[in-house]
Amino acid sequence: MAQAFLQSALALRNKHAVVTGGSRGIGAAIARQFISYGASVTIFSRGVSSELRLGLSAEEQLRLSHLKVDVSDANGVTQAMDSAKKRAAIDILVNNAGRAASAPFLKTDDSLWRSMMDVNLEGTVHCTRAVLPGMLDSGWGRIVNVSSTAGLTGYAYVSAYCAAKHAVIGLTRALALEVATKGVTVNAVCPSYTETEMLRAAVENIVEKTGRTPDQARAKLAEKNPQGRLVQPEQVANAVLWLCLPGSEAITGQAISVSGGEVM
């Protein structure tokens, strides 16, 4: 039993993962999970947060690196990936960076539409293009795209966000087929409302527009989950981790809902 636990705890030793949007929320939870299983992790984010390093040992912090980059900037992504590769070849990519904004469709102007596509879709494309050749050369790779239940169903007043997240899932499925025999798997995880900065912004928006209290707004969002609760970042991270651990090789092209049964 002890030997099996040790093997599990070191299952990602010698693997190098890049996690975009990795400084807080879901991205930080994913990075911590990878580190706890022995991986080295490079996070990409536009800002810096101390949240990620909370609870990490001194040795674990040595396996964590941070690069400041906006994934919507193709040249910036190329430069950041080149820097990350100097540390080690990239074995795992988690495209977690995302942005959400709401507006009725007829008030969704070109700027809002473009901003949703630039980060949620184009950022995923830029990062994937940068790492896929190395994964194909090595014959091993894991790409996990953090989409959303908005990529599996429709939500009113977030048409641009839904369109971008649906596109990410389409990309996931197509690419998974292209590389199915190459040792590389491509999957998506699709959280519903999750305890993150993005959710807090949604709560503030509801409070401002409806006059509800923050607790009432949170309860309204939790109602969409059949379990009656909000998803926790660690629960999303667990799904991402599983897709990268030994034994998940047959799972590819999937869009896994992490939503308490909201989307089946």
- Residue 198: φ, ψ to 5°: -60, -40
Separation CA 83–CA 43 (nearest Å): 12
Of 241, 242, 226, 235, whose CA–CA distance to 258 is shortest? 235
CA dihedral 34, 36, 38, 40 (to 10 degrees): 50
Token digits of residue 181: 């025999």
Mark 22-59 as b/e (b = at least 16 C-beta within 10 Å).
bbbbbbbbbbbbbbbbbbbbbbbbeeebeebeeebeee
Report the 10 Å Cβ neighbour count for 109.
10
The interaxial angle of helices 197-210 and 214-222, nearest 10 deg, is 110
Helix (H) or strand (E) holding 145: strand 141-146
Selecting among 37, 155, 157, 161, the annotated active-site residue is 161
Measured in whole angstroms, how far is the alpha carbon of residue 198 from the centre of its chain?
13
Q: Identity (one letter) of the amino acid at 123? A: G
Separation CA 4–CA 82 (nearest Å): 36
Residue 37: active-site member: no
Catalytic center residues: 161
